[in-house]
Amino acid sequence: MSTASHTTDHATDHDHDHGPARGLSRWLLTTNHKDIGTLYLLFSLLMFFIGGAMALVIRAELFQPGLQIVDPYFFNQMTTLHALVMIFGAVMPAFVGLANWLLPMMVGAPDMALPRMNNWSFWIMPFAFTLLLSTLFMPGGGPAGGWTLYPPLVLQTGSAFPFVILAIHMMGASSIMGAINIIATILNLRAPGMTLMKMPLFVWTWLITAFLLIAVMPVLAGTVTMLLTDKFFGTSFFSAAGGGDPVMFQHIFWFFGHPEVYIMILPAFGVISQIIPTFARKPLFGYASMVYATASIAFLSFIVWAHHMFTVGMPLAGELFFMYATMLIAVPTGVKVFNWVSTMWRGAMTFETPMLFAIAFVILFTIGGFSGLMLAIAPADFQYQDTYFVVAHFHYVLVPGAVFSIMAAAYYWLPKWTGHMYNEKLGKLHFWLSVIGVNVLFFPQHFLGLAGMPRRIPDYALQFTEFNMVSTVGAFLFGFSQLFFLYNVIQTIRGGAKATDQVWEGAEGLEWTLSSPPPYHTFTTAPEIK
């Protein structure tokens, strides 16, 4: 990228050189938060297209009833890997990339607190995903039991099994190291005067997300380790024959799994809370309540896990507890949506691409939240469990939710990172195609689910044909319109109209006081916060 411009400020001279190293070693050995942020973002973009290609295989097969394109076993590998790649390869690294680029600039720190570990936590990722994707070519194929890895089914995976587990361990280690780095940066490296309650909301949401990560990623690591020992070392954590219990896997997995959901959405809340005030030209409404709402959501995420498994046969008291606890999450989430809308209320709004994505996020994420409330109703969930309604729900919160916020963030900060304005016309085209595509893709899946179409099947009954066809058309529209995004990003990196330092008229925060692009080393002397 174009961060090659050297700083001429030699006031605080150190032993290491000021500009980036040349060639490949710059990227392999870098400890610079901006370089590592770029690496994370590009890696995540690559995974987004790989995971997206898998989704298109799934949707192409589902265009018509019957088996046309792939055999059912490969179909199951696609659904499993699509989820693993998108969750651990696209969404999470994208947010870590944003954190790397932005947190030091937002809190006035020269770099992340632990730059060497930062390098390590990124470079684990390509190895983890090479391992994961290579399982497709192994005897017995890749994992096909669903990303939730439920035993005993997942234990039937062929040679791929230990590779999948190791890949998950590596992703977990990377996430934990990233989280430790983020917490250390936020708590130790804030510029003098930057109190916790003056931090930008993106910093706050990431601080809380990082705590969630170090709380639950080790639990996932433990769970998959148990799977591994069950398969190869004769333990029986989840095998009824040896006194274990497969239902216990679901409990432990979802103890990780539900906070994981918020790991993927809290940073999105942070991004949206940065963007909306900029384009509404008003400060964020209810800053403190936003912080408390984020913390409450994070706390509640630990006590709602069993709503993913209402049908395993829980006592009534359990069903009721998890149902009400789940519904309680709607309160802090409602506070957030209310605050975003209130921020826009009577603002002098303009609708550049980041703002369009942010507004679409607020509306479409809320739809996903409402279908989540429907799923939270335990008696109704018995009907919805494992249907396309669930698929529609979590794709509404993850695609026009998390992914749209990442798109919004990319458009919003790209001029800052590269020093060039992106092509606004192309950005808007990308937005409108995406927002239409995503709704055509996922909205009919609500109806399919309510009508009883099960998820994770390559074939379906004839009456589901029309909605599946519509959904597939939407999928291809959405998928291919992402090429506009790719083109736009590449063009912006290569050149374009010069961006000003502030970039957006209403933008506030330390990162906008730096030049565009910022010098390779920023805030080597801490800024003064008023």
Partner 1 sequence: MVETREAGLAAANRRMVRRLLLVTAAMFGFGFALVPLYDVLCQVTGLNGKTSGRVAVVEPMKVDESRTVTVEFVASLNLGAPWEFAPQVTRMQVHPGQFYQTHFWAKNLTNQPMTGQAIPSISPGLAASHFQKIECFCFNHQRFQAGEGRQMPVTFRIDPELPPDVRTVTLSYTFFQN
Active site positions, annotated: 82, 111, 147, 174-175, 258, 260, 262, 273, 307-308, 333, 336, 455
x/- mask, partner 1, residues 189-208, rule CB under 8 A, reads x-------------------
Q: Residue 368: which of 338, 389, 345 has the closest Cα? A: 389
- Between CA 19 and CA 32 the distance in angstroms is 10
- 2-31: contacts with partner 1 (CB under 8 A): 12
- Residue 39, phi-psi category: left (phi > 0), alpha (psi -120 to 50), beta (remainder): alpha
Residue whose CB is less far from partner 1, 137 or 233: 233
Phi, psi of 498 (to 5 degrees): -70, 135
What x-and-dash track marks residues 269-308 binding partner 1 by CB under 8 A? ----------------------------------------
Please provide the distance, in angstroms rounded to a whole number, between the alpha carbons at the two ends of the chain.
Answer: 33
Q: Which of 47, 114, 284, 453 binds partner 1 (CB under 8 A)?
A: 114
Q: How many CB atoms lie within 10 A of CB 150?
A: 18
Q: Which of 98, 34, 55 is nearest to 354 (CA)?
A: 98
* Smallest distance, partner 1 to C-beta of residue 11, A: 11
Query: CB of 387 within 8 A of CB of 455?
Result: yes
Residue found under tokens 């150190």: 14
Q: Toward partner 1, which CB reaches closer, 19 or 152?
A: 152
Cβ atoms of 516 and 499 within 8 Å: the answer is yes
Smallest distance from partner 1 to CB 219, Å: 4
Q: Is 165 in the site for partner 1 (CB under 8 A)?
A: no
180 binds partner 1 (CB under 8 A): yes
Closest to 142 measured CA to CA, from 198, 73, 83 = 73
> Of 241 and 490, which CB lies nearer to partner 1 in the complex structure?
241
**Positions 379 through 438 that interact with partner 1 (CB under 8 A):** none
Q: What are phi and psi of 514, to 5 degrees?
A: -85, 165
Specify the stretch interacting with partner 1 by CB under 8 A; choose among 218-226, 392-400, 438-446, 497-505.
218-226
Among 216, 280, 306, 376, binds partner 1 (CB under 8 A): 216
Q: Does the footprint of partner 1 cover residue 251 (CB under 8 A)?
A: yes
Whether 151 and 227 have beta carbons less than 8 Å apart is answered as yes
Question: Residue from 4, 29, 53, 187 that binds partner 1 (CB under 8 A)?
Answer: 187
Q: CA–CA separation, 61 vs 169, rounded Å?
A: 31
Where along the sequence are the contacts to partner 1 (CB under 8 A)?
Answer: 12, 113-114, 176, 179-180, 183-184, 187-189, 214-223, 226, 237, 240-241, 243, 245, 247-248, 251-252, 255-256, 313-315, 318
